[in-house]
Amino acid sequence: EVSAIVRDMGSYTCKAGYAGEDVPKAVFPF
């Protein structure tokens, strides 16, 4: 099984996780 990693670089936070999941695995504030 192959999973894609998703990273969302927002204005105030960086969210990271795997595609298809409901919530991110990690949230980092700037």
Instruction: Give residue 16's identity as a one-letter amino acid code.
Output: A
C-alpha 14/C-alpha 24 separation (Å) is 10
At residue 25, the pLDDT reads 97
At residue 1, the pLDDT reads 82
**Extents of the domains making up the chain:** 1-30
Residues of the chain with pLDDT under 50: none
Say if pTM beats, i.e. exceeds, 0.85: no
At residue 27, the pLDDT reads 98
Residue 7 structure tokens: 């990273």
